[in-house]
Structure 1
């Protein structure tokens, strides 16, 4: 990696960005918006920081950093996104936490690891659109489920007819949401098909038993078409399917556990994929049966999710569709 005059550590949240230069002990908090970015430019100028000769280090949050990264790309500012868990583990045991302190720690991490860091690629606008559509689709699905639950409860509790006002409006809302969901899904597919590489990876993902369209869309969106994670293990850590050892010396020995920083939405979506794979994929079925002899079902499900992630990354890397060639031994 080329030399940079200044390394800026950035702690990202939904509404604000805490930005620090650990070497100079400088810090600023700005809004995570165009207005805030203008303040940042003035701050850099007043502190004689040439942004084009600076490197921004920030955590991969899976969304909140996108607006800032668009600003960085537009102003030719180099940036590197790092897994939050990787930064946390590199610091060892630390005491105290706030956004300002975190931004300094991120900056220090960048200064220490600068020789092995690789610049992150510019954001793909299609990926951003897919993320936004998936987020809105999720909201519509939840709203639809809420209306369905209300209709069922009202029919059961009050035994009303279809002409009941609540039933009538609720039914209409359910149908409307179904139409909107179909419209959003059609646009997602169109965006994927417009990008040859993304469409190829989408076809690879959906060739895997258990991985349906929604899981494929979410995987493409959160891995940014397999460009934001170096390997399957990094993504598995982000999703939260790899437990880590919890121990300190000889006195503290806790159970292995996944990080609380994991993306629970992705993990939940993979649950159904794992259950389907256990039923319909002979190799995974045998694998799960073997593990169930010594592990709880929830742990086995976690193992299957990791196996699916490994399979996704491996096939995408090779550019090959999944082909079932497993024969169960009688």
Structure 2
């Protein structure tokens, strides 16, 4: 593992970067653009910070950090991104908040956890684009759901017809959004077909009953084509499928429960996959019927979601499509 002499905490915002070196007690604020990156490089040189032996630590911001990440890769500067909640929970009691203070706390976290932090892999542009497509598609789907709800309410309360102005506008927007959703889906399929590894994993995932296009795309996007998650159980924890113990001493003896610190969008899509598998997959249907005799439906649904995740990772690992009756086929 590479040894680092310096750790820089970076608080990223839309227009600026606050960079702190706790070890030297230094701080600088630069613009989040090429001009600011050059100022950062000059500042590092003036303070004898060897960027070759430096690790940059920052939070996930949902996109504001991508320009800086591309710059880091261009000069071979190692970096890693950490969830903001993890850093917040590690700092203990904290009062007040500012960008400068946040960069110091991120840098201090990086120095304390240096032995377990690993530099991130280079950005995968195909995965980044896939996430953007899925995010925008979700936005259109939600907008359509709101418009359909508006139409339903107006027809219920006022007896509106399709020719009524508000209803007509909503119907027009729904039709336009549906055309745009199809365009986005075609772009996703085209991008996947042009990438051999993604195309192979997509075909493997969709061979599983219950796992359709959306679930396959979501799994590929948030596992970075099954490179950032190599273990099904770890991915299940990130999605919010694995239950955790909830006990303390002799007073608290709660049931095991899933954590709300999870990727809710992926979990929501897995709900639909699990319901479909419980109908169309004979093995899962028999499993669910057996469990439902003495278990609640949400618990059984959660178990089915975990089974689907196990199958996803299994087919990708073996590079073989899912076989419905594996023992009989063998």
Match of 2:174 in 1: 174
Normalising by structure 1, report the TM-score.
Answer: 0.83
Partner secondary structure for residue 112 of structure 1? coil
Normalising by structure 2, report the TM-score.
Answer: 0.83
Structure 2: distance between partners of 1:108 and 1:136 = 37
Q: From the superposition, tell whether residues 320 and 44 of structure 1 become closer, same or farther in structure 2 (CA, over 3 Å).
A: same
Match of 1:281 in 2: 281
Q: Is the 8 A contact 1:9 1:20 kept in 2?
A: yes
Partner secondary structure for residue 302 of structure 2? helix
- Aligned-pair CA distance for 1:105: 5.3
- Aligned-pair CA distance for 1:158: 2.1
Q: Which runs of 5+ in 2 are unaligned?
A: none
Match of 2:243 in 1: 243
- Aligned-pair CA distance for 1:8: 3.4
- Aligned-pair CA distance for 1:289: 2.7
Is it true that 1:106 corresponds to 2:109 in the alignment? yes
- Aligned-pair CA distance for 1:238: 1.5
Q: Is the 8 A contact 1:10 1:107 kept in 2?
A: no
Match of 1:153 in 2: 153
Match of 2:188 in 1: 188
Bigger shift: residues 62-71 or 186-195: 62-71
Q: Deviation string for 1:271-327 (max 9, x for gaps)? A: 111111122222222322333334322122122212211111121111111110168
Is it true that 1:125 corresponds to 2:128 in the alignment? no
Q: Is the 8 A contact 2:7 2:107 kept in 1?
A: no
Structure 1: distance between partners of 2:265 and 2:16 = 23
Q: Which runs of 5+ in 1 are unaligned?
A: none
Bigger shift: residues 105-114 or 188-197: 105-114
- Aligned-pair CA distance for 1:167: 2.0
Structure 2: distance between partners of 1:220 and 1:249 = 41
Q: From the superposition, tell whether residues 101 and 7 of structure 1 become closer, same or farther in structure 2 (CA, over 3 Å).
A: closer
Note the aligned Cα RMSD (angstroms). Answer: 3.3
Q: Is the 8 A contact 1:7 1:110 kept in 2?
A: no
Q: From the superposition, tell whether residues 61 and 276 of structure 1 become closer, same or farther in structure 2 (CA, over 3 Å).
A: farther
Bigger shift: residues 153-162 or 79-88: 79-88
Match of 2:53 in 1: 53
Bigger shift: residues 125-134 or 246-255: 246-255
Q: Is the 8 A contact 1:81 1:120 kept in 2?
A: yes
Partner secondary structure for residue 187 of structure 2? helix
- Aligned-pair CA distance for 1:102: 4.9
Match of 1:76 in 2: 76
Is it true that 1:234 corresponds to 2:237 in the alignment? no
- Aligned-pair CA distance for 1:4: 2.1
Q: From the superposition, tell whether residues 109 and 16 of structure 1 become closer, same or farther in structure 2 (CA, over 3 Å).
A: farther
Match of 1:313 in 2: 313
Partner secondary structure for residue 163 of structure 2? coil
Q: Is the 8 A contact 1:282 1:326 kept in 2?
A: no
- Aligned-pair CA distance for 1:137: 0.9
Q: From the superposition, tell whether residues 63 and 311 of structure 1 become closer, same or farther in structure 2 (CA, over 3 Å).
A: farther
Q: From the superposition, tell whether residues 248 and 40 of structure 1 become closer, same or farther in structure 2 (CA, over 3 Å).
A: farther
Q: From the superposition, tell whether residues 32 and 260 of structure 1 become closer, same or farther in structure 2 (CA, over 3 Å).
A: farther
